């Protein structure tokens, strides 16, 4: 493919993912240790459905395809990404750290961002710019090089798969943040995080770890439809917090808007002794059309191990 052709592909992908990614802070990292990547089957729609939806299927959302993590590691080495990004536990050629080129460490980054976000970091690194050392250069732009002329689309897909596969060992922390917990439950993708008070922002997609003592903060739950990828409102949700030193307690999570969008949340405290949080999702309280009723017909429960 010519550079012009690849640039067109890169721009198209960047435009598709940019809308959903602009609200997240930009890190060139890797996802949670083996996040549960559920790939729904292909959508089938009529031409009338496309016209009715303004050119896209109902509930459509761009989904980055799965790739080959092993091949992606080869791409990472070929591009010498290890010159700027450290990955603990991986054996790449030794380099002399250059402070002017050091980007964020990628160890255990898999659960911090979705695949589309990593793809945008590679294809269009200046779409979102994180301010600070290791992210921004003297010109105010991202220090991440633009690789759209250096990669095929297949290599980009595999490289994202490699970054998404990183996990285990020492998790990379975003200013003391613990990796978000993410699972699927029935027809939902559920992402749970805890944002300790005084650590900035009113809503986080990755949770901040509690200190050595009980921490007050905001419990955040994102619930998305597995089929459409859209947030699901009007759900009765509770979280049961288990510790090894006290009786379990429950808090109701209510729908709310924050600086980064819609979520279910509650102001609460978490003890360092917290071992598990179980989230119970009731049936929607809004009307569900017949075409989707079978997917939202029962109460779902999912448990997250919670070791600070």
For residues 194 and 177, is the Cβ–Cβ distance under 8 A?
A: no
pLDDT exceeds cutoff 90 at 279? yes
Q: Which fold has domain 3-165?
A: Cytochrome Bc1 Complex; Chain D, domain 2 (1.10.760)
pLDDT of residue 114: 80
CB within 8 Å of 148: residues ≥ 6 apart: 6, 7, 10, 123, 124
pLDDT of residue 205: 40
For residues 243 and 275, is the Cβ–Cβ distance under 8 A?
A: yes
* pLDDT tens, position by position, 130-145: 777 777 888 888 888 8
Residues paired with 302 in a beta bridge: 279
pLDDT exceeds cutoff 70 at 267? yes
Q: Residue 18 — pLDDT band, cuts 50, 70, 90? A: very low
Domain boundaries, given as residue ranges, for the chain? 3-165, 181-305
pLDDT of residue 180: 54
What pTM was computed for the model? Answer: 0.50
pLDDT (average), residues 116-129: 86
pLDDT (average), residues 244-272: 89
Cα four-point dihedral sign 172, 173, 175, 181 = positive
pLDDT exceeds cutoff 90 at 255? yes
pLDDT exceeds cutoff 50 at 26? no
218: which 2 tokens?
């905001």
Q: What CATH class has 181-305?
A: mainly beta
pLDDT of residue 112: 74
pLDDT (average), residues 270-294: 90
Query: If you search the block for the tokens 């075409």, which residue do you land on?
Result: 291
> Rounded distance, CA 167 to CA 90, Å?
11
* pLDDT tens, position by position, 51-78: 877 787 776 777 788 889 899 999 988 9
pLDDT of residue 157: 93
Mean pLDDT (the chain) is 76
pLDDT of residue 159: 92
> Rounded distance, CA 144 to CA 279, Å?
38
Query: If you search the block for the tokens 């049961």, which residue do you land on?
Result: 240
> Looking at per-residue confidence, does 126 or 277 come out higher?
277
* pLDDT tens, position by position, 164-206: 888 643 334 444 444 457 888 888 989 898 888 754 444 434 4
> Looking at per-residue confidence, does 171 or 218 come out higher?
218
For residues 195 and 207, is the Cβ–Cβ distance under 8 A?
A: yes
Cα four-point dihedral sign 113, 119, 122, 124 = negative
Query: If you search the block for the tokens 């080129």, which residue do you land on?
Result: 101
> Rounded distance, CA 8 to CA 170, Å?
38
* pLDDT tens, position by position, 96-116: 777 777 877 888 777 677 888
pLDDT (average), residues 249-253: 95
CA 122 centroid distance within chain: 16
250: which 2 tokens?
């429950």
CB atoms within 10 A of CB 198: 9
CA 58 centroid distance within chain: 23
> Looking at per-residue confidence, does 16 or 282 come out higher?
282
Q: What angle do CA 256, 257, 262 make, to 5 degrees?
A: 90
DSSP-based three-state secondary structure for 221: strand
Residues paired with 275 in a beta bridge: none
> Rounded distance, CA 165 to CA 252, Å?
33
């Amino acid at each position: 493919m010519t550079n012009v052709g690849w640039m067109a592909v890169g721009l198209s992908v960047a435009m598709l993912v940019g809308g959903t990614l602009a609200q997240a802070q930009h890190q060139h990292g890797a996802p949670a240790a083996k996040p549960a990547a559920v790939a729904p089957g292909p959508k089938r729609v009529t031409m009338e459905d496309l016209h009715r939806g303004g050119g896209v299927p109902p509930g459509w959302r761009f989904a980055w395809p799965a790739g080959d993590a092993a091949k992606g590691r080869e791409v990472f080495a070929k591009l010498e990404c290890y010159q700027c990004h450290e990955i603990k536990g991986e054996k790449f050629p030794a380099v002399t750290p250059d402070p002017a080129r050091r980007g964020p460490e990628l160890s255990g980054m898999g659960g911090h961002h979705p695949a589309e976000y990593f793809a945008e970091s590679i294809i269009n690194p200046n779409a979102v710019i994180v301010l600070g050392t290791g992210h921004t250069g003297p010109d105010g732009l991202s220090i991440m090089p633009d690789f759209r002329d250096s990669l095929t689309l297949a290599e980009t897909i595999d490289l994202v798969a490699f970054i998404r596969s990183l996990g285990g060992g020492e998790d990379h922390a975003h200013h003391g943040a613990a990796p978000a917990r993410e699972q699927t439950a029935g027809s939902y993708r559920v992402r749970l995080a805890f944002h300790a008070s005084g650590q900035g922002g009113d809503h986080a997609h990755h949770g901040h770890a509690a200190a050595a003592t009980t921490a007050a903060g905001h419990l955040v739950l994102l619930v998305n439809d597995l089929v459409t990828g859209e947030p699901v409102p009007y759900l009765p949700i509770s979280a049961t917090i288990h510790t090894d030193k006290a009786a379990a307690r429950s808090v109701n999570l209510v729908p709310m808007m924050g600086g980064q969008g819609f979520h279910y949340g509650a102001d609460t405290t978490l003890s360092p002794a917290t071992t598990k949080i179980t989230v119970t999702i009731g049936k929607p309280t809004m009307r569900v059309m017949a075409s989707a009723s079978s997917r939202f017909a029962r109460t779902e429960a999912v448990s997250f191990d919670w070791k600070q």
